[in-house]
Structure 1
C-alpha cells in the first residue's frame, strides 16, 4: 500500500496512514486495520466569524503560557473559547497548530486517535519522513504504547507545535479520556497541548498546577469587560450611550453569546432603551440558545432544582432548601457549580451561590410559563426566609413579587424605617409602588413611610400629600413608632409638629412596644432635636442630634448619619461656630454614601460655602458653592439654591468681580421671590447683598435689600447694622453710632453672631473719624475678641481702610487675640491692595466721590492745592487710571472705598 503525503489528502477527508505491518487476524492471515475517515473540517482551524472582536489581552495570556506545557480553557457554552483559540492559532505564524474539533463520535477511541494523528501529520513542522506521517495506527488496549510511540516521533521536531482539542468535554468514554490524560502526561517539550471544554476534564489538575505545568483561562477571564462590550457594539455599527453599554454588560455578565444575540436584537429594535430594559433569558433567541446548549445537557432533577431556586438571586443554601424541599440543597448546588460555571459561589457569604443572570431569568420564565401560582408562592417563601434574618431588601423585593398584598404590607411596616434611615429610598419606593397608591393612602404606616421617602429626595408637595393621607387614617391610640414617624414627617414638611412632638416619649427612658429598637430611638432623638432647634434651644438640639449621630453610626444608618451631621451644622452655623460647621459639613460631603439624590449634601455644601466665606476662605467658598449648585440640580429646595447662589455671588465680589458679584446676589434674591426661609438665612443673604451694593456706592440697591429683609423679620441687630452702614455712607456719624449702640450693648437680638463683629468694626471706624484713638483701639480689640471664637475674618477684609491701618499699627499688641489679628490681615484677596496707598492718599481718595473741587478738598484738609494734586497724581498712578471717575470706580472694585470713607476727613 502506498503511503500518501499531506498534499495527497482528499478534499473531503483524511485517511490515517497505515503501518508497514498489519495486525494479524484470528485465522492467521494479515488484515489491514479499519482506518476511520477523518473529515478535513474536523482537523482544520475554524474560520473566524464575520463579527469578531480580537481580544489581544487573552492572546497575550495564551502566549505567556508557553512555559506551561498544558493549557486549559474552561468556560460554559457561548463564552468564545473556539473563536479565541482560532484567532490565537492564526495570529502567531511561528508555531503550527494541530486542531481537533472533538465531538460525541470521538468516544470511539480509534476515531479519536486517528483524528490526533491526522491533525499532527498536517503540520508543516512535522518533516515528511517523521513517523507521525506513517503511524502509529490505533491498537485496542495499547494506549500507553501508542502514546509513547507518538511522543518519540514528536521529540525530534525542528520546531514546536500546538495540539488543540476543542470541546473535549464531549469525551466520556473511559478509553478516550485515558488517551487525553496520557497525552497530557507524556507529550515532549516540542508539543504544547491546549484543551477547550465546557467542564473541567477528568485530569489531575491540582497536581498539574502544583508542578507549574498548567495554564488556566476560565469564565471570569473570557467574560467581556464593559470596555470590550463597547468596542464590540461599535464594531457592529451600534453607537450606544455609556449607560446603555453598562446595562448590557450587567445583563449579560460579559457572556459572548448573550452579547451577540443582544447585538442582533438591537439592530432590529425600534427602541433600544426598551429592548435593553427587557433583555433577559426570556428573550426568544436567548431562551432557545440556553435551552439547546445549557439546559438540554442537565439531568431532569438538576433542571427542576434550578428552576425552583431561580426566584432568588443570590441563593443561600438554606433558602435553596426551603424553596426545593431538599435537605441536600447545599451539596446539590455545589455539584451543579462544578458541572457548569453558570452557577458559582458569590463570595458574599459561605454557602451562597449565584446563577448567571440570563440563565436565571430563562429558568424563571420557564417556571412562570408552567402556570399556577408556583412562582408567587416561592417568592412568598423567600420573603419570609429573608425577613427572619432581618434582611429588608430581599424580603421586600420577594414580597412585592409574591402577589400577596397582606405580606407586602407586613414587610413594609417592618422594614420601611430601616430602609429610610439607611438611605435605600429606591427599594422602598419600588415596594410602595407595588403596593399601590390606594393601599398606601389607607395605611398610616405606609403613608408616613412614603411621605418621609419623598422628603428624602426633596419632593415636598408629594410628602405633604402623603402626610395628609396619614392624618386621615391615623388611629386614636397610635403606637409609639407611628407617633414618632408622624412627628418627624410633620417637622420636615413644615406642618404643625408641636402637638405631635408633645406626645413623644422621653428618649432617656426605654420605649414601649414590641417593635421598638435603635431606629425608633434615633427618630425620637431626631424629633426632639428638631423641636428644640425650633425653639432656639441650641444646646438641647445639639445634644439630641449628637445622640442621633452616635446611634446612626453604631447601627450603620447611613442617611440618618448624614442628616444628623447636617443638623449639627445648622446648630453650629446659627451659633456662629464656623469651625464645627466646616468639620461636619466636610464629613458629609466626603462620605460618598450614595445619597446624592437628596438635599442633604446640598445643604452641607450651602453651609460650608457660607462658613468658608465668613472665615475669609473666599476661593474655597466660591468652589463649594459652585459644586453645590451643580449637585443640587433637581433636588435643591429654593432656600438652598438661594443660599448657594448668594454665597457664590458674594465670593465673586470678594475675588474682584464686584459688579458681577452684586448682580448675582440680586438675581438670587429675585429668583427666590416669595419663598419661605429662616430668619437667619434671610439675614445672612440680605447682609451679603446690602454690603456689596453699599461698597459699590449703589444706595438704591442697598436699600432694596434692606427693605426685603425688613418685610420678612422684626427688629434685629442686622437691620440696625444695615441702617448704620447707610448713615455712615451718608456722612452721618452720630446717627450711625446711635444705631450700632444697641447691638454692642446686647439690647437688641442678633440673628447672626458675626453681626457683633461688624458692629465693633463700625464703632472703631466712627471713633477714628472722630479722632477718638483710645475708643478706636478698644473697639478693634472688642471686634477681635468677638471674631476669635467665631473664626469670622471676612468682616475685617471689608472694614474701612482706616480700621485696617489701625490693625497694622497695633499688630502684636492685642495679647490673646494676636493670632486672629494676624489672620485677619492675611485674609481676603483685597487686603494687600489697600496698602498701596498712604494714609493721606486714602483720605484724599475718600473725598474723590464727592462733588468737591480739588481746591475745596485742599481747603478741607488745610493743605495746598498742589499737595492735593500731588496726592491725586500718585493715586492715579498706583491705581492705573487717568481720571477722577476711573479712580473712584477702580477703588470701589478693589474695596478701597468703604461705605463711610466720605467722612474720613472728619465732620464738615
Structure 2
C-alpha cells in the first residue's frame, strides 16, 4: 500500500481557467481574516471553493494554508482528524505528526489528538489557515463536538475556514457575539449583474444583451453553477432569447433540468464516459480506461476540462482530476437510475486497477463500495502486514467494521486481528469469540484440500499469533497460569527465525513470572524476549519493553540499574528521531518515577514535561495512564492532594487491562493519597470495595493493595490507640515478607520492613521499630535510591529517623550505615527556606575572620540547598554525589556556587553560614 490517505484531498485547487475576479469578496474575506472562524455557507454551486482558492492563492507570503477537501467517507472522527492532521502537516513542518501517530494506534482519543494539534499550532510563527472544504459532508455529532473544542482553543494566529452547503451545528451564535466569527453567505456569493455579464462575455464567450444577462441573473439569483450550466446550454443554440425566456424554477429543478440539458447535448461517447466514471472519487486516464473499457481516458479528461464540464484538476501535471461534487452527485444518480446493475462491475474494475498498481487502500474501498465483500476481505488480508508494521490500526478496524460478520469469521487472519482490536477496546468477551473463530478457520483449512498458492508469512505465523493474543487475554483477566500456558504454546508454534513471535511469547512468559512474584525468573525471561524483539527489527517495542524491565529491576531492589537501562534506551530513541517518539515518552515517564523516588523532584518534573507533549498528541497505548499517575504523585509531593487526585482520576479512566500485570492499581494509589490526607473513611471504603483484608493470603499481584491496607491500619491505630489494629497489620506484613524475600523482591522487602517499623512505633514498641527501620535502611543493594518511600510516610517516619540518628551508637543502627542513611533522608526532607525562592536579606551579614563578605546574596537553587544539607552530614564528597545521583565534578560545581553565594571558602564555613541564615 503506497499511502493510507488520499493525498489529492490535501491539494489547494488549481486556479480555474476564466475565473471572474471579485474584488468586493476579496475585501470581505480580508476583513473577516481577523476572526478565528470564517464560515463560507451557501448552497451547492455558489463558487465557494473557487473563491477561497483564488483568495488564498493571491495572499502572498507570510501565510500557511492547509487545505482539506472532505467527503462523506470522512465522517468517522478518526478519519476526519487524520486528514486534518495530515493537511496541517503538509502546510507547516512539525505540525500534526504526533496526532497522526496517536490516531494510528488509538483512534478514539479525539480530545488528545485535538490538544496535540492546538499545541503544535501554538508554536508556529506565521499565520495558519485551515480550509475545510465541503464541511457539510462530515457534519456528524462526533465531528461537531471535536470541531467545537478545536475552534475554542485555537491560538490567535490560526484561522479555520469552513466551506459548507448548510450551517454546521456549532455554537455560531456565541462566537458571533464574541466577535470570533466572520461569515460569507449566499447573498455575498451571488454574481452581481456586472459579474454575470463579465462571465458570459469573457469566460463563456456569449454575446448576450444586458437584458438577457439581467434575466438570467435574476432567475438564478446569481447562482454560479446555474449560470455556468446555462452558458453550456446556450453555446450551440440559435434561439438564445427563447431559452432564456423559458429558464425558470427553484434550485432543485434547475439543477435537474440544466444537467439534463448539458448531458443531452453531449455526444453519446461523452455521456457514457461521464456516467461510467462517476463511481470514481479521482480520475486519471488509465484508471478511466480500465473502468470504461475504452482507450481515450486521458484525452477525454483534457477535453472535458477545456469545455468547463465540471472537471477540476488535482495537480499541476493534469494527470488527476475530480468531478465537481454537484455534478458527480447528479451523474451517480442518473447512473443508478439508468444502469443499476452496472455499478458493481464498475467498482470491481476500479478495484482491480488499483490493486494492480499497488494501491491496496483504494482497491479495498472500491471492493467495499461494489459490495464484493469476499474480494474486500481477501484484500484486507493482504494489507494486514503493512498496516501492522506502520501501526495503522484505525484504518484496519474501519475496514473490518464494513465487512459482513460472515466474511470475517471465514478468515482466520481477519478474525484474529479483529479480536485483537476488540481487546484493545476492552471488549474481552468479544475478543475471545474471534480467537475461537480463527482457531476453527485454521482447523477447517487444514482438513480441506491443499491450497493452490503457498501460504504467506502472516498465515504461517497465525497459530503462534493466536496463542500470543490468548496469552494477552489471560493476562488482562489476571489468569497467570493461563498466560504462561498460552505463551509456551506460542513459543512451540513459532519457528526459530520468527523473532517477533518468539519475542512476544517470551515477554508474556516473563510477565507471568513477574505476576507470580518471581522477579529473578521474570528478569531473565523478559530480557531474552527483548533481545528477540531487537532481532526482529522491532525497535519501538524493544525500547517500550525497557520500561517493563525497569519495573522488574525496581521490584528486585535495583532502581539504579532500572535508571541505567532507561537512560540508555532513551538515548537510542532520541538518536532515531520521531519514529520512536512514543517509546521516548514512555521512557521519560519511567525516569520521572525513578527521579522522584530518589529525591530529585526537579528531574521528575523535567521528564514529565518532556513526555507531556506526546501524551497530548501521540499514543502511549496502555502506559498512557502512567504519566497521569506520575504527575499525581509529584502534585502530592508538592502538597496539593486535590490536584494529585484529579490526575489519578484521569489515570484511572485511561487504564485498560491488557499486556502488563496491574501490580500498582490506581485505586490503591488514590487510597494512599487519602491516607496521607487523613481521610481514613474514604481509604476504608476503598479497602472494602477492593476486598482486601488483613487475613488475606500473600501474593505479588495484590501486594501493593495489601501494603496500602497496612498504611490504613497504622493510621487508624494512631487515631485510636486503644484499638490495636496495627497488630493485624504486623501479621499481614510477616506473611508478605515471607512471600517476597525468597522470590528476590528486595524492593518489596524494604517497603515491608519500613511499614513494620511504623506499625511497631504505632503500638509503642520503639526498640522493635528501630530494629525494623535499620533493616529497611540497609536491606537493599542500593539504599540511597530510596527517598520518597521513606519521606512519604510523613512525621512518624521523620521521628523514627531522628531516633535512629540519636541512637547511632547502638550496634543495630551502626551496622551497614543505617544512621548515615537516616541523616541523608532527614537532610533531603528539610523544607525549602525562603532564600531558595528568591528571599534576599535587607543588608549583608557580617563575615567571619578570613571570609570575604558577600556583596549580595543570590538565592540558592533547590539542588544547591540539597547539597548544603548533605554537606552538614558525615558523608564524604563522593558519598554525597552518589546520594544525589550526580558526578563528583557536578558536586564540585554546586559546591563552588554555594561558596560564592554564601561568601565562604570552605565546607565548614558554608555549613556555619547556612545555620546562621536558617537554611539548616
Larger RCO (alpha carbons 8 Å, 6+ apart): 2
TM-score (norm 1): 0.49
